[in-house]
A and B are shown apart, each in its own frame.
Chain A
Amino acid sequence: MSVLLIVEHDGSSVLRTSLSALRACVGIKEKSGGEVVGVVAVSDRQADEVARDLASFQGIDKVLVCKDARFAHEDAEAFAASLVSVAPSFGHIVAAATFYGKNLLPRLAALIDRQQISDIVEIVSEKSFRRPVYAGNAIATVESKEDIVPLTVRTSAFDPVETREGEAVIEELPVPDGAKHAFGEVVEETLSSSERPDLTSARIVISGGRGMQAGEHFQLLEKIADKLKAAVGASRAAVDAGYVTNDYQVGQTGKIVAPDLYIAVGISGAIQHLAGMKDSKVIAAINKDPDAPIFRVADYGLVADLFEALPEFDKALE
């Protein structure tokens, strides 16, 4: 049986989170056989560029393009309804465990009457997978008893695939009339634009917590991030306090990251934050409280006032 991958894009290119999910699909295909088919929901204007980009990646055997003006914005209801007819020809239906994938896949799973498995970090067999539960304080091995398994993939657990020579076949997947009901309409989007690498794919992440004390102090982190080509993240406390926007949040219910280096600054280390970063290869923590729980997961801890430590850290990089 083949694997269907639901692919996210930014209007022209495939997102790296989907390329990590594609790596998982290739792993499933090794056990299940068949093909890996990537499907995108796009507006007419975006269709060619996105489809060609997707077709250029390793592991993709076929691209399905679901084209409709409504897909200029995320529309989980219409996309899920469009996938119902093709779903039975697949053994697995996969999406990255991003806000987008989490919104869409359970809807599709319910429409085809199958139970989804969320946030897998390891493929054990064609039907069994490992996934963290309880904010990563336990790892469950679960097995589906069903013929079609909808899965979301924790992207930090799978390396994104690269491009290759040649392209996969591109076909259209029509949006059925029944899928065109308007349940809602996107009236506004406030998207963060940053020149820095994306949080979920950066090699280095530097995050600030409540200890940063004010939004403008994040400049101290940004200065270092720019030198290291790092992404900037935050704890829930820093987002709740309004220092930075929600898309910075690392944690159980925010973004899950596993960079080569995670630097936690002024973050105490609540289990909900640890859930989002404790699989990082190396963790460094700067906090003035020597008893902060963050030090229990840190490889290198520095007990210091961050307003003195960060300028010194910055200087030592030169």
Chain B
Amino acid sequence: MKVLVPVKRVVDAYVTPRVKADGSGVETENVKMSLNPFCEIALEEAIRLREKGIASEVLAVSVGEVKVEEVLRTALAVGADRAVRIEAPRQTEPLTLAKLLKSLVKKEEVGLALLGKQAIDGDNNQTGQMLAALLGWGQATSVSKLEIEDGKAQATREIDSGLQVRAMVLPAVLTVDLRLNEPRYASLPNIMKARKIPIEVLTPESLGVEVVERVKTLSVVEPAKRESGTFVESATDLVAKLKAVKVL
């Protein structure tokens, strides 16, 4: 079973994003960029499935300009077998992404798609579900535990009021949550080796997908700043202050 793992290059989770002065978006030049943490977890899970003999191949894919090959190199260094970049403008909408991925799934005869549940830049949480819909596959989102046996997956999902275990028929799309696993680090020799693995480049045209803008970003601004607060001396003072502003 071939496993597809889409990976996204995003502003590093430990960097505080800064809004551009012209209001067109968030600054991504000269900012530390990394593999989206949720994609990292999906990739780790796929590699573990291969190590257990359940997956035959882990195929990493990223959509974007040449720069996104950085995260594909990272994916190769931690253990992806192959990497594909789909050439596209920097911000591709989830539905277009899902169409590109669907086409790749068909082309590569993928049996399982593992995705991060969201990217920490757009915070959309859409692509996996859309991919499942377009493929006519089942979906399990926010998966925090996964067991696969005899062509069936048992996925534990984080839901609003607790946990839900869903038995899934494969093929399926699974989106992963934070507690599924702890991703490994790439070793230096593997990082060096990954530099030499060729990355296949595809275009939306070759996948039969038209890239269109369906939602336009009009402006991006900083959120309202909170006024700075004050320190209190004791818990008793804190209660008094909270009572004074009538929230207790």
Residues of A participating in the B interface, judged by any CB pair closer than 8 Å: 17, 73-74, 76-77, 80, 98-100, 102-111, 113-119, 128, 132-146, 182-192, 204, 228, 236, 239-240, 245-247, 252-253, 255, 260-261, 271-272, 278, 281-284, 286, 295-304, 308-310, 312-313, 315-317
* B: number of interface residues (CB 8 Å): 87
Using A115-B214, A139-B220, A184-B172 as known contacts, say yes or no to A110 and B123 having CB atoms under 8 A apart.
no
Using A298-B229, A312-B236 as known contacts, say yes or no to A240 and B179 having CB atoms under 8 A apart.
yes
Q: Output the least CB separation between B18 and chain A (Å).
A: 8
In the A-B complex, the 10 residue pairs with the closest CB atoms: A183-B138, A110-B130, A106-B129, A312-B235, A110-B133, A106-B126, A115-B214, A316-B239, A261-B247, A188-B165
Across the interface, which residues of A come within 8 angstroms of B214, CB to CB?
114-115, 144-146
Q: Are B216 and A137 closer than 8 Å at their CB atoms?
A: no
- Tell yes or no: B166 within 8 A of A by CB: yes
Residues of B participating in the A interface, judged by any CB pair closer than 8 Å: 11, 13, 16-19, 25-26, 38, 93-95, 98, 117-118, 120-134, 137-142, 144, 154-155, 157-169, 172, 177-179, 213-223, 226-242, 245, 247-248
Interface of A: prevailing SS = mixed
Using A282-B247, A301-B229, A317-B248 as known contacts, say yes or no to A183 and B219 having CB atoms under 8 A apart.
no
Taking CB as reference atom, which chain A residue is nearest B161? A191
Q: Output the least CB separation between B51 and chain A (Å).
A: 23
Across the interface, which residues of B come within 8 angstroms of A104, CB to CB?
129
Q: A253's contact among B177, B221, B231, by CB below 8 Å, is which?
A: B177
Across the interface, which residues of A come within 8 angstroms of B126, CB to CB?
106, 109, 116, 118
Q: Are A116 and B94 closer than 8 Å at their CB atoms?
A: yes
Q: A301's contact among B144, B154, B230, by CB below 8 Å, is which?
A: B230
Q: Are A316 and B132 closer than 8 Å at their CB atoms?
A: no
Q: B129's contact among A76, A139, A187, by CB below 8 Å, is which?
A: A76
Q: A115's contact among B140, B215, B231, by CB below 8 Å, is which?
A: B215
Q: Output the least CB separation between B233 and chain A (Å).
A: 8
Q: Are B218 and A128 closer than 8 Å at their CB atoms?
A: yes
